[in-house]
Amino acid sequence: MTKIEFEDPSMNIKKPKGSIRLFFVTIFVSLIVGAIGGIGGIILLSSQGGELAKRIGLGDGGLTIPTVRTEKVILEESNAIIDSAKKVSSAVVSIQQKKTVQDIFGQVYESSGAGTGFIITSDGLILTNKHVVTDQNADYSVVLSDGSTYSAKVKSLDPLKDIAVLQIEARNLPVVEFGDSDSLEVGQWVVAVGNALGRYENTVTVGVISGRNRKIEASDANGANAEAMDDLIQTDAAINPGNSGGPLVNLKGQVIGINTAIASNAQGIGFAIPINEAKTAVDSIKATGRIIRPYIGVRYVQLNKDLSTQNKLPVEYGALILRGKGLTDIAVIPGSPADKAGLVENDIILEINGEKISQDNSLLKLIQQYKVGDDIELKIYSKGAEKTIKIKLEESK
């Protein structure tokens, strides 16, 4: 089984003879004679004027000899990569974490770590990964591209996604430009920028989009703090410890993802959160000061044809409500909107407001199109029959 890890903050020939020569000479002479004959033919044909041209169907005028011009075009992808990195780098920051720790012998020492983020507003809002700044007992600071350092406050943590927003007290800061992660194509060039190993600020790596809509279960290096994540971008652009929270950028210099995890036992397999999923979080924090997400309160598996066939399920799409392996990974959260609506384990949610749940439109992705308090209609398959239920979205805690 492939182990997926969060990108946790980084810690400390011969000459011819005889007949052969004669053969070459013969070919050379033949080529010359042929060329002269061809030129003569062209001159003769042209000198006969329009009459000969008419006889062979070439029109009223003399014969026109088309010319072909070949131009060699050199595509410099490197120029696009350079421009892209320049555009975004000034808004990429290094996030430093410091914490006082006491070991079992009573000795006190300072622990440190590092991650990456990027500035999204000129007055100091910074987007990063939640797992970079999740320690409430640590102090955080931000180092800008010009070397200036600011104390940072964790403004909000996303309850559903590995996203966090920091705030620093600064003005007139450079900001990134958001792209459209829904329009990404597999094979498209991308650039990753980050604080590699917690030591090398604004390190630039290059790769392509290797896949889309990936679903993984990520944990830290010790296997703890496991978290299921879906709708991720897969890339082979090198993502190293310390890159967490840094931008994944297209060749226009637009951020299209937030680097978040790697497959630790593989080469060139990294994952990023699509920026479109962060846009709602950014809008929320600008409007309310915190990240508010709607939820229904179920744990699910995204169905496809193979999975449905293996498990002899009656449908090939939808979200199958299913508990996880851990004791706390229950299928339906008690008291949640799903619980109140009567959803139970093994129910399959097929549609939300008439829109099918599919590999490209997961349950979570569709729900995020709505707001807390919205009433939505779910089409479900339950106990051998399809039915429709209504549910009111609540805020995820």
Quick one: pLDDT at residue 16? Answer: 43
Mark which of 242, 263, 288 sits at the end of a domain: 288
Q: Tokens in use for 370?
A: 């709505």
Quick one: pLDDT at residue 264? Answer: 74
Q: What is the pLDDT of residues 266-293, one digit of tens each?
A: 778 999 999 999 998 999 998 999 999 9
The residue ranking higher by pLDDT, 197 or 115, is: 115
Per the CB < 8 A criterion, the answer to whether 94 and 81 are in contact is no
Tell whether 172 and 219 lie within a shared domain.
Answer: yes
Q: In one letter, which amino acid is 48?
A: Q
Quick one: pLDDT at residue 201? Answer: 86
**Span 60-66, mean pLDDT?**
49
Query: For a pLDDT cut of 90, what percent of the chain falls above it?
Result: 57
Q: Give the residue numbers annotated as catalytic, written as ranges.
A: 131, 162, 244
Q: Check whether 63 has a pLDDT greater than 80.
A: no
Tell whether 219 and 328 lie within a shared domain.
Answer: no
SS (H, E, C) the chain: CCCEEECCCCCCCCCCCCHHHHHHHHHHHHHHHHHHHHHHHHHHHHHCHHHHHHHCCCCCCCCCCCCCCCCCCCCCHHHHHHHHHHHHHCCEEEEEEEEEEECCCCCEEEEEEEEEEEECCCCCEEEECHHHCCCCCCEEEEECCCCCEEEEEEEEECCCCCCEEEECCCCCCCCCEECCHHHCCCCCEEEEEEEECCCEEEEEEEEEEEEEEEEEEEECCCCCCCEEEEEEEEECCCCCCCCCCCEEECCCCEEEEEEEEEECCCCCCEEEEEHHHHHHHHHHHHHHCCCCCEECCECEEECCHHHHHHCCCCCCCCEEECCCCCCCCCCECCCCHHHHCCCCCCCEEEEECCEECCCCCCHHHHHCCCCCCCEEEEEEEECCEEEEEEEECEECC
Tell whether 321 and 256 lie within a shared domain.
Answer: no
Q: What is the pLDDT of residues 212-253, one digit of tens each?
A: 988 887 665 555 556 678 889 999 999 888 889 999 999 999
Range of the domain at 249: 79-288
Tell whether 32 and 136 lie within a shared domain.
Answer: no
Quick one: pLDDT at residue 103? Answer: 75
Tell whether 222 and 161 lie within a shared domain.
Answer: yes
Question: Which neighbouring-strand residues pair with 189?
Answer: 208
**117 — pLDDT class (breaks 50, 70, 90):** very high
**Span 86-112, mean pLDDT?**
86
Tell whether 199 and 311 lie within a shared domain.
Answer: no
Tell whether 301 and 283 lie within a shared domain.
Answer: no
Q: Check whether 37 has a pLDDT greater than 50.
A: no
pTM of the model: 0.74
Q: Check whether 42 has a pLDDT greater than 80.
A: no
- CATH number for the domain spanning 355: value is 2.30.42.10
Q: In one letter, which amino acid is 290?
A: R
**176 — pLDDT class (breaks 50, 70, 90):** very high
**Span 341-363, mean pLDDT?**
94
In a domain, 325, yes or no: yes
Q: What is the pLDDT of residues 301-317, one digit of tens each?
A: 889 899 999 989 999 99
- Total number of domains in the chain: 3
**10 — pLDDT class (breaks 50, 70, 90):** low
In a domain, 68, yes or no: no
Quick one: pLDDT at residue 32? Answer: 37
Q: Check whether 336 has a pLDDT greater than 70.
A: yes
Mean pLDDT of the chain: 82
Tell whether 100 and 191 lie within a shared domain.
Answer: yes
